[in-house]
């Protein structure tokens, strides 16, 4: 189903928001959904936005790239769709900018809060010091010095009264800054979490893998990466529908999230794929955890809640790679992915270790 077949008159407005609010809005939406179904693209909000832009923008860079991928026989997977959205949709890029700005603002608020608390302590210490000096001189016959100090003491009492009001205001401001920082932190957590499974999303996973590998290089620690895939998920999804498919994803994610909890990093890698980073843990430890996940997932017979129909058992395949000294994250991911492919090729429902012979990318 070609995009141009329905839009040869080229009357579609350039502004997508205007298009959806025009008489052609339903036509745009229907055509986008038809194309998504024809190319087996999940009807998520992000994917729908992507394909509406593809349909409506005509000769745009996004349309050209999707046309190229389709002509090459590429499947528009969820991870590929997210990459396209991040590159070509302004809102997706804006969300990333907002996230980074929020992180920077959160750090700045923390610095301001610390400065306010320091000012409070300094004010209190100053008042206490002058009061103590006045008491010491009050018991002595210091003559003119005593008179000067009494004047300073009176002035200090006045300043202390004003400071009490200021400190109260500063305390309120500090509390408000704390609440604002917590809100920003929550926004960042939400932006780094996969909405369906509540696991870490792909963006956060990529960041954490880089950070963990950098720390491993500095401290000489091991890092093991595992990639897990639900076996025959597409067939299951086609047979039972996306809603049941989403329930399966959440079930598998719950097992992976529990066994991959902090300090490990469990993430939804894309579609039906998941990943776990094992900081400072060997391949042997990762193997044991992955086997526990595989066994637990397959041990439960799933049923459809509404009809109590037997859905059968779900199995997963896994591959893992223990990081070589100085190895790049890209090479590590490729080796773990190759190990996963080996598990699939060997019959699925198994865990395979990567061969440690891949070239090390130290750059």
Q: Given 3-state DSSP classes, what are the helix, strand and coil percentages for the chain, each rounded to the nearest 5?
A: 65, 10, 25
Give the tokens for residue 232. Answer: 């025959």
Q: Does domain 202-353 have CATH number 2.40.50.140?
A: no
Give the whole-angstrom CA distance, residue 293 versus residue 260. Answer: 9
Q: Where are the beta strands (DSSP E) in 22-102?
A: none
pLDDT in tens, the chain (363 residues): 544 333 333 333 345 555 555 566 667 777 888 888 888 887 766 777 788 888 877 678 888 888 888 888 888 877 787 778 777 776 555 455 555 555 555 565 566 666 666 666 666 666 666 666 666 655 555 566 666 666 666 666 666 666 666 667 667 766 766 676 676 666 667 778 888 899 999 989 999 999 999 999 999 999 999 999 999 998 888 888 888 888 899 999 999 999 999 899 999 998 899 999 999 999 999 999 999 999 999 998 887 777 778 888 899 999 999 999 899 999 999 999 999 999 999 999 999 999 865 444 444
- Pick from 230, 224, 234: which is nearest to 333 by CA? 224
150 given a catalytic annotation: no
Q: How far apart are the first and last CA of the chain?
A: 44
Q: Return phi, psi of residue 266, to 5°.
A: -100, 130
State the number of CA atoms in the 13 A half-sphere of 264 facing the CB.
22
Phi-psi region of 271 (alpha: psi -120 to 50; beta: other; left: phi over 0): left
**Separation between Cα atoms, residue 313 and residue 238, nearest integer Å:** 16
Q: What are the sequence ranges of the domains in the chain? A: 3-88, 93-191, 202-353
Q: Which position among 78, 272, 281, 327 bears the catalytic label?
A: 272
Q: Residue 212 and residue 214: Cα distance in Å, rounded?
A: 5
- The half-sphere exposure of 249 on its side-chain side, counting CA atoms within 13 A, is 23
Cα–Cα distances (Å) from 363 to 9, 97, 298, 326, 328, in that order, read 51, 27, 40, 8, 7
Q: Which of 283, 362, 278, 272 is nearest to 321 (CA)?
A: 283
- Pair 153, 130: CB distance under 8 Å: yes
**Dihedral over Cα of 250, 256, 262, 264: its sign:** negative
């Amino acid at each position: 189903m070609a995009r141009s077949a329905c839009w040869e008159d080229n009357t579609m407005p350039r502004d997508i928001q205007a298009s959806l609010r025009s008489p052609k809005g339903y036509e745009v939406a229907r055509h986008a959904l038809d194309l998504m179904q024809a190319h087996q693209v999940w009807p998520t909000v992000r994917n729908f936005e992507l394909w509406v832009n593809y349909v409506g923008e005509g000769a745009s860079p996004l349309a050209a790239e999707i046309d190229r991928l389709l002509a090459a026989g590429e499947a528009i997977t969820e991870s590929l769709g997210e990459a396209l959205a991040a590159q070509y949709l302004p809102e997706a890029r804006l969300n990333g900018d907002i996230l980074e700005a929020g992180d920077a603002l959160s750090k700045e608020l923390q610095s301001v809060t610390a400065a306010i608390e320091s000012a409070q302590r300094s004010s209190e210490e100053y008042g206490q010091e002058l009061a103590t000096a006045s008491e010491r001189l009050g018991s002595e016959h210091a003559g003119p010095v005593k008179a000067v100090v009494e004047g300073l003491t009176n002035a200090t009492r006045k300043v202390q009264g004003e400071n009490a009001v200021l400190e109260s205001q500063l305390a309120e401001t500090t509390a408000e800054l704390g609440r604002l920082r917590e809100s920003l932190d929550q926004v960042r957590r939400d932006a780094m979490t996969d909405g369906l499974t509540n696991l870490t999303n792909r963006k956060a996973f990529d960041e954490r893998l880089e950070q963990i590998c950098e720390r491993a290089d500095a401290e000489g620690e091991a890092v093991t990466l595992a990639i897990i895939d639900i076996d025959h998920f597409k067939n299951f999804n086609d047979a039972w529908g996306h809603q049941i498919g989403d329930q399966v994803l959440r079930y598998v994610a719950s097992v992976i999230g529990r066994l991959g909890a902090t300090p490990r990093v469990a993430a939804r890698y894309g579609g039906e794929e998941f990943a776990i980073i094992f900081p400072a843990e060997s391949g042997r430890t990762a193997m044991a955890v992955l086997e526990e996940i595989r066994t637990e997932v397959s041990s439960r017979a799933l049923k459809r809640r509404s009809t109590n129909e037997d859905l059968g058992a779900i199995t997963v395949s896994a591959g893992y790679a223990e990081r070589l000294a100085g190895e790049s994250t890209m090479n590590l991911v490729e080796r773990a992915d190759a190990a996963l492919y080996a598990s699939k090729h060997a019959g699925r429902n198994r865990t395979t270790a990567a061969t440690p012979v891949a070239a090390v990318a130290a750059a």
